Amino acid sequence: MRKSGPDRKYTQEFRVAAVKQVIDGGRSIPQVARSLEMSPGTLGNWVAKTRKGEALMKRAPGRPLTELEAEVARLKQENARLRIEKEILKKAAAYFAKESM
């Protein structure tokens, strides 16, 4: 499954390779973005930063997570998702209960 949207994470290597395709490969930003299934705006920002001599990533990637830390993070995400689903179901139940009266 491909991630898209604001939560999509790109590695430093991916960013450098994408920018090289534009700068060294002579391809346009929309062509490269389409081939990599990403936003042309994002790639354009990376190319502009590279041409200005700025770093492509704001911060270095964090330290690797232990198995326990990864499990806690996964459970927190699942808990947040379930809370949202519960709220949606509450609202739907209230809506349909109101309609049936």
Q: Are residues 70 and 98 in the same domain?
A: yes
Q: How many CA atoms lie within 13 Å of 28's alpha carbon, on the beta-carbon side?
A: 4
Q: How far is CA 92 from CA 27, 52, 79, 100, in A?
A: 49, 51, 20, 12
Say if residue 22 is in the same domain as residue 52: yes
Mean pLDDT by 10 residues, the chain (101 residues): 59 89 90 91 92 75 75 90 93 89 73
Q: Are residues 80 and 55 part of one domain? A: no
This prediction has a pTM of 0.51
Please name the amino acid found at residue 65: L
Q: What pLDDT score does 41 carry?
A: 94
Q: How many domains does the chain have?
A: 2
Query: What is the predicted pLDDT for the residue at 7?
Result: 55
Cα torsion 27, 30, 33, 37: sign? negative
Please indicate, yes or no, if residue 58 is contained in any of the structural domains: yes
pLDDT at residue number 1: 36
71 and 90: one domain? Answer: yes
Domain span at residue 72? 63-101
Residues 17, 29 within the same domain: yes
Query: Among the residues of the chain, which ranges form H helices?
Result: 12-23, 29-36, 40-52, 67-100
